[in-house]
Amino acid sequence: MDKFVELTQVSKDFETKQGRFQALADVTLSIARGEFVSLIGHSGCGKSTVLNLIAGLLEPSSGGLICNGREIDGPGPERGVVFQNHSLLPWMTCLENVHLAVERVFGAREGKAQLNARSLAALELVGLAHARDKYPNEISGGMKQRVGIARALAMEPKVLLLDEPFGALDALTRAHLQDELLRIVAQTRSTVVMVTHDVDEAVLLSDRIVLMTNGPAATIGGIITVALARPRDRLALADDPTYHRCRGELLAFLHRREQRPAA
């Protein structure tokens, strides 16, 4: 497997008022170029900590992280992040929010017209060119998340990191954005790492699902390979035995961990 993102024996400790807390212990994972990997587990199992380590927002207490052959030692434009909270600047339009990221990455070597074209192309990719001049308070929650995805994609990242990007949305909006994400990933051939609590979302979107054990000292408890052909159609998968097998394995793992939270 092409090891595009690598975590090798990664551990992460946090200093708290009660003393040192070990969030992660000995996490080793390789992610291939163009692969879609989901991290799933109960609350407090270190999913977001793993994502933030890959993003360079946290430093490991021990172990190493590599992206595209280079050590991860901080945030960088080759890794775009989309959080559950869209984090849009309310005084900027949708286009201006995307343009802000584009300018930071490409501003030193491209002119204003090129930067504007990049920003608009990113909004078009998520189907929001018509909302370019709207402010965040003028659009829905789902549209805000699409602007956040557009902003991350506009930087042309090598890795797209998603931290429960659809967690705060209603079921219908979530399903629509999941389908949009499938389309975008197929078009851009992005490498994606996503944190989710949603079993069906993980199986629908992923090539592999990383199962995190409960904390403290959370680690990888198993990996499920989702051997479903792409493109994927959620209606067609309703009767697919492979889909149901993966879903069943995932539910069984989560149920066992729920029954034995300290395991």
pLDDT tens-digit readout, 56-98: 999 999 999 999 999 999 998 889 988 877 788 999 999 999 9
Domain count of the chain?
A: 1
Examine residue 102 and state whether it is found in any structural domain, yes or no.
no
Instruction: Say if CB 116 and CB 99 are below 8 A apart.
Output: yes
pLDDT at 117: 92
Q: At a CB cut-off of 8 Å and minimum separation 6, what does 118 contact?
A: 102, 106, 110, 154
Examine residue 56 and state whether it is found in any structural domain, yes or no.
yes
Instruction: Say if CB 34 and CB 191 are below 8 A apart.
Output: yes
pLDDT at 258: 54
Examine residue 38 and state whether it is found in any structural domain, yes or no.
yes
Instruction: Say if CB 40 and CB 197 are below 8 A apart.
Output: yes
Examine residue 140 and state whether it is found in any structural domain, yes or no.
no
Q: At a CB cut-off of 8 Å and minimum separation 6, what does 188 contact?
A: 125, 153
Q: Is the dihedral of CA 88, 90, 91, 95 positive or negative?
A: positive
pTM: 0.89
Q: Which of 180, 156, 167 is nearest to 232 (CA)?
A: 180
Instruction: Say if CB 188 and CB 153 are below 8 A apart.
Output: yes
pLDDT tens-digit readout, 112-136: 899 999 899 999 988 899 999 999 9
Instruction: Say if CB 84 and CB 163 are below 8 A apart.
Output: yes
- Residues spanned by the domain of 30: 1-76+195-263
What are the start-end ranges of the E strands in 68-133?
A: 70-71, 79-82
Q: How far is CA 75 from the centre of its chain?
A: 15
Residue 243: which CATH number?
3.40.50.300
